[in-house]
Amino acid sequence: MKIAMVISQTIPELVFNAFRMANFSRKEKDDGNVFLLAEGVELDGTNNPKCDVRNRQSSELCPLSTMKDLHSLIRDADRVVTF
């Protein structure tokens, strides 16, 4: 199954459970993607060089995404889960 997870919050318990679900889905052999939106883009913190939100730099771990990317993710998913 293809699962799209959209995280738009930074509440620690919520984010923790979102990634628990993502990891469980991978173990179940589901194909999934996580999209950070709104406050969710601050999830990784601005001091992490792998995803520098403040300078809007893209990396392999945290590529910059557009509404077109989000639309494609949702369109192609069998299920969409929001956190």
Q: Does the pLDDT value for residue 8 go beyond 80?
A: yes
Confidence of residue 38 (pLDDT cuts 50, 70, 90): confident
Number of H helices and E strands in the chain, helices first, is: 2, 3
Cα angle, residue 74 at apex, residues 27 and 8 outer, rounded to 5°: 80
Kindly state the average pLDDT of the residues 34-40.
83
**pTM exceeding the 0.75 threshold for the entire prediction:** no
Which tokens go with 54?
A: 């403040």
- Per domain, the residue ranges of the chain are 2-82
